[in-house]
Amino acid sequence: MTQPTSHHANGPAAAGEPGSRPRNQAAWLDGPFAALTVRPAPYTAPDPDEIVIRNRAIAVNPLDEIKQATGNLMYRWLPYPSVLGEDVAGEVVEVGSAVTRFSVGDRVLAYVVGMEKGRNHQPEGGFQLYSVARAMLAAPLPESLSFEQAAVLPLAVSTAASALFQSDQLGLRHPVPVPPAEAAPAGGREAVVVWGGSTSVGSNAIQLARAAGYEVVTTASPHNHDVVRRLGASHVFDYASPTAVRDIAAVLAGVTVAGVFAAGTGSAEPAVAVAIATGATRVSLASPSVSLGGLPQRRGPSRALLRVGVGMIGGNVALQVRCRRRGIRARFVWGSSLMTNEVGPMLWQRFLPAALADGRYLAAPAPHVVGLGLDQVQPALAALRRGVSARKLVVTL
């Protein structure tokens, strides 16, 4: 297991270690429901369109926690042992032969896609010292941002961009390289509603929609209202308020609502209600209507599993019927879908490098560093399971 592997024999040598490959370590998921264990991992050289990053900060996401906690219910294609993790920031140590945007030593952030179908699973996982990243899903990191700050972004910004800009989702105009105020259309007001603006994905959706020139109305708990306003929301309401949908419709009276984005458990139904109340015809959903959080962490059928399965299927069918009757298109979004369409290059090659460099785009939500070292990834996942509020849990390496 400690032997280095390479699927690109002519790759350049890694920086700082002439003649030898760096020693890699990973936090491995050895089987369904297992706790992560840290031990050596192969170091993999990049394919022509890839880079290798020495990770300095990594973040944990609900999908890592859900994969670990639900066994083979999701991501069934992942072999064991696996390396989970999507969000990395660090230094480039090796560059594939076709990559021109990065050099050894560059500070970068990247969305690594080892959990996705058809990818090279272990090398492209994030919970390790050295990750292989697709150059198209990486961006240079300006000196003004630390690795901890940058690690909050990759999956969240990719999911938000897929939802907002893909033609099969909300299909919004793309962000333009001028500040939002100047980018606002001269005609009538156009808005986007982000239900769950204090989630990681929602924080990025607010900023991306503003950068594309839309007014943003959002929801969050009251203690996060100032946080989401700083990201660009013009109005914010408490998602727990029974009048939230009505209040949103009232502030958007006379405004064209270009789309509604829903992030967070339980966000799908109110997002559709907002679309009905505002006349929006497109809804993009990042979260299932039922939480997988309460499932027992063991194999086999259980009442909770049955309840979640029935709730998820039944809830989705009811939602789709409601949408169809009203002429609304509501679709689930998959955060990695942007790597196969024009949204990926728009975000990672054009928008993010410029917007991060000039400080226009904020690394949000704020990082909360759980600890130093790969053995802190498991505590970070446990903390995520307990819940976070406008924070991204980060481990430094």
Positions touching ligand NAP (CB under 6 A) are 61-63, 155-156, 159, 195-196, 198-201, 219-221, 224, 239, 263-267, 286-287, 333-335, 388-390
Minimal distance in Å, beta carbon 6 to ligand NAP?
Answer: 30
45 or 201: CB nearest ligand NAP: 201
Q: Are 236 and 202 within 8 A, CB to CB?
A: no
102 or 361: CB nearest ligand NAP: 361
196 or 344: CB nearest ligand NAP: 196
128 or 159: CB nearest ligand NAP: 159
DSSP assignment string, 302-329: -HHHHHHHHHHHHHHHHHHHHHHHHT-E
Q: Which residues of 3-23 are buried (b: 16+ CB within 10 A; e: fewer)?
A: ebebebeebeebbeeeeebbe
Q: Are 114 and 124 within 8 A, CB to CB?
A: yes
Minimal distance in Å, beta carbon 223 to ligand NAP?
Answer: 7
Minimal distance in Å, beta carbon 362 to ligand NAP?
Answer: 15
Minimal distance in Å, beta carbon 62 to ligand NAP?
Answer: 4
74 or 255: CB nearest ligand NAP: 74
d(CA 389, CA 386): 11
Minimal distance in Å, beta carbon 337 to ligand NAP?
Answer: 8
102 to 17, 137, 177, 223, 339: CA distances (angstroms): 19, 12, 22, 40, 18
Minimal distance in Å, beta carbon 285 to ligand NAP?
Answer: 8
How far from chain centre, in Å, is Cα 337? 11
42 or 334: CB nearest ligand NAP: 334
Q: E-strand spans in the chain?
A: 5-6, 24-28, 37-41, 44-45, 50-59, 87-95, 107-111, 130-134, 138-140, 190-195, 215-219, 235-237, 256-262, 282-285, 329-332, 366-372, 391-396
Both tokens of 343, joined, read 């949204």
